[in-house]
Each structure stands twice: as C-alpha cells, then as structure tokens.
Amino acid sequence: MKAAASWIAEHELWLLAVVVPVLMASNRVPPTLTLVAMLLIPVPWLCRLVAKGYLTVHTPMDIPIILLLFTVIVSLYASVDLPLSMLGVHKIIAEIALFYGLVNGVRSEKRIWLVTSLLLIAGSVASIASLVVMPRPSSKLLFANPFPYSPRLVEGLAPPNANYVAGTLVLFFPLAFSLLLFGPKKVYKPLAGLSFLITGFTIISTQSRSALSGVVIALLLLAVWRSRWFLLGIPVLAGVGWVLVQRVGIEELMGPLTFMGTAVNSLQARLELWQRAIYIMQDFPYTGISIGTFDSVINVMYPLFLIGPDAVVFHAHNLYLQTGAEFGIPGLIAYLGLLTAFILTTWAILRSSASGRGFRAIAIGLLCGLIAHLLYGLTDAIVLANKTGTFIWAAFGLAVAIRRVIAEHPIAALDAEFVAGGKREHKARRG
C-alpha cells in the first residue's frame, strides 16, 4: 500500500498535466469531466500522507494561500452569477494544485532545470501562437508590424487581446535574458537565447506600453543586480519620462492605453473604472463581488459615464483594485501576502551562500519577470482566475522548490564547475 501510494505521489506532476488543463477550460468540457478532475486533485495529497506522513511540505505561501481560498469561497455568497464564478474557482484550484505539485515534485537540480526549460518553451510557443492569430494596432508606437492580422484558426475562438499577450509574456522575457547572460549551463543558453528573441519580438509587436514599461524597469533591476553602476540608469529614465510628459503630454502618452477599439481608450475612462472598483471595495469590503461578475455588477450598480453602456468591461484595468473588488479587502491582503512571500523567497535564494550561479540566474529572472507583470498590472489586469495565471503560479512553485533544494542539499545546489574547482583546489593544497 505504501509503495503504491508513494509511486502516485511521486508522479503527481504527470497527473496535474492532465487535470490542470481540464479545470482551466472547464467552460468548454463536460461537467462530468470537470468533476472528475476536481476529485483527482486531492489523490496525490492523500497518497503522500499514507506514504510519507504529511499532506504537503510547508512553504512561505501557505498562510496567504489558505486566506485566499477562504476569501474565494466567501465571495461566492455575493456572486450574482454563481455558475460563472465557479468557473473561476476551478481555475484558482488548478493553479494552487500546480504550485504544490511543483513544490513537492521538484526536489533536485535536474528537475529545476527541466521545469525552467519548460517555462522558456511555453513562453516561446505562446509567443509564436499569438503572432499568428493576434490582431495588432498599427500606430500605437513607432514599430512596424511585420505580420498582417491572421484570421483565427478555430471557429468560435476569439483572437487574444494584444495587451493580455504582452502582460503574460513579460513573465518569460527577463527569465530568458537572465539565463542567457548569467546562466552557467551552456546547454541551456541556446534555448534561453531563442526564447529571448521570440518573446521580446512578440512583446514589441503588441505595442503594449504598460508591458514595455514594465520590461524596461525589470531589465534595469536585472542590470543593477549585476552591477550597481546601472543605478545611474534610474535618473536617466526619470529624465526621459519627464521630457516625454512635458513635450507630448500625459494624456497622449497613456491613451489609448488599451488595444485599439476597446472601451477603455483614455486616461479619464481608466480613472473612472478605478473609481468604480474602489466603490465596490467600500460596499463589499469582506466578500467582494466574486469572480467574473465585474461587468454585470458595474453596469447595474455603478454605471459608467465615459464608457458607453454597450461596452463590455471585464475588469477594472488594475490588478490590485480588481483583486479587491472580486475578493474583498481580505482577498487583496492574501494576494499581497503571496507576492511578498515570493519576493522574500527569491531574495533568500539570491542571498544564500549555497546558491549556485544557475539558481541565482533563475531566481533573479523570475523576480524581475514578476515585477514587470506587477508594473503592467497598474494600468491593466490579468486576473487571478485566468488561464495565463498558471505561469505565475508555476513561477511561485519553481522559486519555492529552488529554496527547498538549497535548504535540503546545499552542496548539490552549487554549480558543478564550482564544486569541481573547489575539489581541484583542495587536492592542490593537499599535494
């Protein structure tokens, strides 16, 4: 019994590779299949309890995750469309399951590099797929569009929004750049370089100013981590921004902030949306309005004046206000706690003497990618219950897994060439 339970627990990631896509697409699969996927998620946990005596290893994100799950359940009470909100609950459960699957399943340097490679591949594939089907604005920036708009490949499947694509890809770009420059394993550098070129080209092609601003700041932080001399770039960027605001104007720079033809196409309209989200947080401070109901609630209870009544506004175009509106103030606190725990985890990796050059390159790449995404979230939002949210939770899980490997195997966490050099030096001293 213990041997069978141990085998199932060891292969949890293979099970999640099937379960997570089903839950992420629960609106497109039969309800029976969704129910089966939900029932399969706790199976590896129970097997781990039988084989090893615990449900899961403890992580710095446990308390924020428990609070987040609690607020998600409480928010269902206030939902005006419970079936729609349940679709979002399926996604959040899948993301959390993926996080713990990575934390429990990635316990060696080899697996860490495998997951990192899969992330780079996922970013490249998402970039190529987006270039094929994504309509792009023609004049938001001074970048030419090398590819014309291509029709959607699957009937009934709308092409992705360029801003959403950019907000997702900013998670991968700093990671690829960090591994390309600082990674010690030459075998991964071609993959990192290819991912860097593909994701960078796609981000530029989206012409998303929110994403591009986040990427510039993230790359500056990456450079500062490498050399403090790059701190001189901060006043330079501030000066360039000031000149642009003076010569062009804040309204012209920021509007249209969203993709062409969408409802929120000016700074005033964006400010009005942010104000409505604050009203929701004031009226529903403990429960929020639940997942996916922002458009329904805002049109009935908080009508907009600058945005037409026929417009469909799915979120507040601010990640933090949207989280507070959907899950209440406790949900926003839980989300900020998740981000804080991730930042502290990556910082611990960077400061640890047991971290090799490779682990540091991964950690700083993940951290800068999340920072770029959070800066993007100031003027746009990829909500928690979103298909691309799996990449964020994968980054969370990978960072915690690296920290665990360093704590459990400090010598093995060092780079092979560093260890080999130490052994050669020791032999030389003995000789």
Q: What is the DSSP string of 200-266?
A: HHHHHHHT-HHHHHHHHHHHHHHHHHH-GGGGGHHHHHHHHHHHHHHHH-HHHHHSS-SSTTSS--S
The helix (run of H) or strand (run of E) holding residue 430 is: helix 416-430
| pTM score, whole prediction | 0.85
pLDDT of residue 426: 42
* Residue showing tokens 């964020």: 392
Specify whether 42 is located in the same domain as 123.
no
Residue pLDDT tens, the chain, 431 long = 888 888 899 999 999 999 999 999 888 889 999 999 999 999 999 999 999 999 999 999 999 999 999 999 999 998 888 998 999 999 999 999 999 999 999 988 899 999 999 999 999 998 998 888 776 555 555 444 444 444 444 444 566 677 888 889 999 999 999 998 888 767 688 899 999 999 999 988 888 888 888 898 898 888 888 766 666 666 766 676 666 656 655 555 555 444 334 445 566 777 888 888 999 999 999 999 999 888 888 888 888 777 766 666 778 888 999 999 999 999 999 999 999 999 999 999 998 887 788 899 999 999 999 999 999 988 887 877 787 889 999 999 999 999 999 988 665 556 554 444 444 444 544 54
| Residue 214 token pair | 């986040």
Give the domain-ending residue among 35, 55, 75: 55
The residue among 39, 55, 71 that closes a domain is: 55
Q: Are residues 30 and 67 in the same domain?
A: no
> Could you tell me if 168 and 199 lie in one domain?
yes
What is the total count of domains within the chain? 2
Q: What is the pLDDT of residue 250?
A: 56
> 16 and 161, same structural domain?
no
Answer yes or no: are the C-beta atoms of 214 and 170 closer than 8 Å.
yes
- Same domain flag for 138 and 85: yes
Q: 388: closest CA among 25, 27, 18, 16? A: 25
220 and 355: one domain?
A: yes
Q: Which domain holds residue 12?
A: 1-55
Q: What pLDDT, on the 0 to 100 scale, is given for residue 404?
A: 92
Residues 330 and 409 in one domain: yes
- Same structural domain, 28 and 149: no
Instruction: For residues 71 and 10, state if they share a domain.
Output: no
Judge if 138 and 277 occupy the same domain: yes
| pLDDT at residue number 230 | 63
Q: Which of 55, 70, 95 is the last residue of a domain?
A: 55
Distance, in Å, from the CA atom of 80 to the CA atom of 84, rounded to the nearest integer, reads: 9
Tens of pLDDT, residue by residue over 124-171, are 998 998 888 776 555 555 444 444 444 444 444 566 677 888 889 999
Q: Residues 352, 410: one domain?
A: yes
Q: What is the pLDDT of residue 144?
A: 42
Do you find a cis peptide bond into 256, omega within 30 degrees of 0? yes
Residue corresponding to tokens 């933090």: 320
pLDDT of residue 153: 45
Q: Is the domain of 139 the same as that of 51?
A: no
